[in-house]
Structure 1
Amino acid sequence: MSSAFSQTSEEDKVKQTIIDFFDAFHKQDTVRLKSMAKGNINMQSISSNKEGKTRLDVNDYYGFIKNIAGIPKDKTFEEKLLDFNIKIDGKMANAWTPYEFWFNGNFSHCGVNSFQLIKEDDNWKIIYLVDSRRRQGCKALSKG
């Protein structure tokens, strides 16, 4: 029974790491964002171009942080996480988080984030992040 409790506790820690990441993201807190990843990790985004062909964009984490810091303070942005599906094996975790992205109060796109994390000491750190981005099939579109 204690191992099930321990697993749930680790899932809570991973979930809190992702929540903290988005809190820092929304506040444009570059120092905190840098502390949450294991160095200058790879980030990828999967989307479709205007012709409908699959597109893969590759960025580094420090470039991402620089872009976040450069968003003017009069602009608002929010990534709303819709769910968490967390899997853990020892010191490795995956968090699958469907989301909606809003910019200046308007729906922009939806997709899923897939975070890969490593546990060092008692902290979970992001080691890889890939997301999908689309405008079709989003729940927010049907609300409007």
Structure 2
Amino acid sequence: MGKFLIVLLFLSSFCFAQKTENDAVKESVEKLFIGMKNADTIMIRSVFADDAILQTITKSNEIKTERLGNFLSSFSKLSKNDADEKIKFEAIHMDGNLASVFTPYEFYYKGKFSHCGANSFQLVKQNNVWKIQYLIDTRRTNCNK
């Protein structure tokens, strides 16, 4: 009976330790914001697919596209903790190697509130790793805080 309990405890702890696909998707998205907060362009780059597309919907409802290289360059000029984007995972949808993630956010620059909005991510699973293929966001200052 004692050996059975030990085996049962081992198996149950193993099952709870398993990472789900939702967890893996969240980790990729969270890694982006950890990299941004740490001004770590290598970490930021690691979460994007090679041909990733980054876009912003401006206040005048235009769509502005930014090159990944320019996005990385902007963080290379910052110090650790200058950029802090606080997100909430509102929705994650998946089908095979495609994931869609929606995260409202608040962005702080050097400790002061800058703007808010929402991020919409499209991720693809490449070589068993979730990569951001497409990111579009909104940016506004009239936020309900």
- With structure 1 as the length reference, what TM-score do the two structures score? 0.81
Q: Per the alignment, in what secondary structure is the counterpart of residue 62 of structure 2?
A: strand
C-alpha distance in 2 between matches for 1:32 and 1:77 = 14
**Aligned with residue 57 of structure 1, among 42, 54, 64:** 64
Query: Using a 3 Å threshold, how does the CA distance of structure 1 residues 12 and 134 change in structure 2: closer, same or farther?
Result: same
C-alpha distance in 2 between matches for 1:75 and 1:17 = 19
CA offset at residue 83 of structure 1?
A: 2.8
Q: How does 1:1-144 map to 2 (within 5 A)?
A: 9-48=20-59, 53-71=60-78, 73=79, 76-136=82-142, 138-140=143-145
CA offset at residue 97 of structure 1?
A: 0.5
Q: Could you give the per-residue CA deviations for residues 4-26 of structure 1, whole angstroms, max 9, x where no partner exists?
A: xxxx8111110111111111111
CA offset at residue 38 of structure 1?
A: 1.1
Q: Per the alignment, in what secondary structure is the counterpart of residue 75 of structure 2?
A: helix
Structure 1 residue runs of 5 or longer lacking an equivalent are: 1-7
Q: Per the alignment, in what secondary structure is the counterpart of residue 89 of structure 2?
A: coil
- Flag the structure with larger Rg: 2
Q: Could you list the structure 1 runs, at least 4 aligned residues long, displaced by more than 6 angstroms after superposition.
A: none
Amino acid at match of 1:97: T
- With structure 2 as the length reference, what TM-score do the two structures score? 0.80
Kindly tell me the number of residue pairs found equivalent between the two proteins: 128
CA offset at residue 135 of structure 1?
A: 1.3
Percent pairwise identity: 34
CA offset at residue 109 of structure 1?
A: 0.8
Q: Per the alignment, in what secondary structure is the counterpart of residue 110 of structure 1?
A: strand
Query: Using a 3 Å threshold, how does the CA distance of structure 1 residues 87 and 28 change in structure 2: closer, same or farther?
Result: same
